[in-house]
A and B are shown apart, each in its own frame.
Chain A
């Protein structure tokens, strides 16, 4: 059985349209294989090339060179075979007919996926329920919140009963609760044996729902990781923001093993950066002991995680 997604040395160059524009290499010899049934994360900052790869795989954009296949079918030559197998969810609020209701939108897309009319109605109903829009189904999409539009998008991507789903930043604009429900939904889809490529710039999302995560930056693949090793890096390089911590306390913390930097922020607070797992706990204990309670931990930036992962492997950027 062929892999669900095979990408071989795909390069995509955007030629400048106006003189002042620059030539952009959005994807630079990208290779990637996703076996059937896997949830694969494509993690990268803005402009990394995620959307470009998703578009190539969903047959709406041609690669400049290289080959890509979905379930063994070439995405350039065999679009007729590829299209019924895939579902696409592009992020953002676009991609829907705002003047129509949620139900009418789904009915249209269902018809485009060649379902018979009765099946369209039935699938529309179940999907609206599944994404929690059943009671708003007959309202116009223009009255939906961002998160509701996003959920309708998801339903749209699922209407064709796709074997392979391409989700491009599907949770942008969702509130945290909807985000959690989204993760549950992804789990269910995996249970149904579908393959999912999830493009995201959200490390935690990638870590929590994916079986494997490919890190991409400036069109190049940096590494493919298990979510666990990604999680290690994320928790190891946490940072702690404090307000009103006395200088001596900060000084002692800076000297702790595993604390890589303590910097003053403009508003008089401080940021403590940590580079070893467990060090955060020690930092927090010291702060609380010193009576400092205005403390917030946050995750490292994606860039920091990249630098760490690349550093560990001695790769060159």
Chain B
């Protein structure tokens, strides 16, 4: 737990020292403005939660994956990987703490869209199901962090991961039903989509913003968390592989 906290704190300090980390938060208000403008123009204010949550989820995904991907890779460049591994703390626990820090910073996007919706469009964002909303945000952050640990490992194992990280994100925005509901996608995409925690998060988040009763909240939260745990397990497995490789080959070689 101390290792997790140390990692969390370290990453917050690193993020604060480097404005580059906030870049994915920059387009959030712009996306929100564009989406809201279209919806207003079409006279479909009832779709406002789509316009508002899409930029948030995109920022959460983009920031978490890119910044998490740099964690182990960055340690490798700065020469902090070996002393980290040689310390008594669990290195994977430190990495997890750092990934969580990144994800929590991404939650700032909620504040951005709230401001845009409220000030520019006079749309009051009403959270009709506050408990479910908070639980969904928490579960989604955890799932995001779990998924992002894969990225932390993948950036080291595959040279190309960094190059593709950006373009790889878009299929997930589609599969995650971030802006367009999954039900509107071609049928054959739906099973794929069900395997992406983002689709469950997006659906549940939007539901908490509207007044109707929400169905299956515990189940849907469970799926989000479960998918997050799967991602986390895969990430840990990869991290352990990396650490073993450090010890046997003497340095981290690209796969």
Contact = CB atoms under 8 A, between A and B. Distances in A.
Contact of B250 (A61, A84, A104): A61
B85 A100 contact: no
A109 B88 CA distance: 10
B163 interface: no
Interface stretch (A111-119, A261-269, A291-299): A111-119
A203 interface: no
Interface string B68-94: 000000000011101111111100001
Contacts of A114: 2, 88-89
A17 B252 CA distance: 11
A212 B249 CA distance: 31
Interface residues of A, number: 34
Given A62-B248, A111-B2, A112-B94, A160 B87 contact: yes
Interface string B210-224: 000000000000000
A144 interface: no
A17 B6 CA distance: 35
Given A60-B246, A104-B13, A112-B3, A95 B86 contact: no
A108 B79 contact: no
Interface stretch (A86-94, A126-134, A234-242): A86-94
Contact of A59 (B79, B86, B250): B86
A112 B90 CA distance: 8
Contact of B78 (A61, A97, A107, A111): A97
B14 A100 contact: yes
Interface in B214-255: 246-250, 253
A114 B6 CA distance: 9
Given A14-B250, A99-B17, A60 B79 contact: no
Nearest to B84: A112
Contact of B83 (A88, A99, A104, A111): A88
Nearest to A98: B78
Nearest to B243: A60
Point out which of A88, A92, A108, A160 has the most chain B C-beta atoms below 10 A from its C-beta: A108
A55 interface: yes
28 contacts: A14-B249, A14-B250, A58-B86, A59-B85, A59-B247, A60-B86, A60-B247, A61-B247, A62-B248, A83-B87, A94-B78, A94-B79, A95-B79, A96-B79, A97-B10, A97-B78, A108-B10, A109-B87, A111-B2, A111-B9, A112-B6, A112-B84, A112-B87, A113-B87, A114-B2, A114-B89, A160-B87, A160-B88
Contacts of B2: 111, 114
A140 interface: yes
A156 interface: yes
A80 interface: yes
Interface in B1-42: 2-3, 5-6, 9-10, 13-14, 17-18
Interface string A67-94: 0000000000000100110101010101
Nearest to A166: B86
Interface residues of B, number: 28
B14 A90 contact: no
A90 B17 contact: no
Nearest to B82: A60
Contacts of B82: 55, 58, 60, 88, 90, 95
A95 B80 contact: yes
B88 A112 contact: yes
A92 to B, nearest CB: 7
B69 to A, nearest CB: 17
Contact of A88 (B5, B86, B89): B86
Contacts of A100: 10, 13-14, 17
Contact of A156 (B9, B83, B250): B83
Contacts of A62: 247-248
B6 A108 contact: yes
B3 to A, nearest CB: 7
B23 to A, nearest CB: 16
Contacts of B6: 108, 111-112
A61 B85 CA distance: 10
Point out which of B10, B79, B88 has the most chain A C-beta atoms below 10 A from its C-beta: B88
A44 B214 CA distance: 71
Contacts of B253: 17
Contacts of B83: 88, 90, 95, 109, 156
Given A86-B86, A90-B82, 15 more contacts: A14-B250, A17-B249, A62-B248, A83-B88, A95-B78, A95-B82, A99-B18, A100-B13, A100-B17, A107-B9, A108-B6, A108-B10, A113-B89, A140-B17, A156-B83
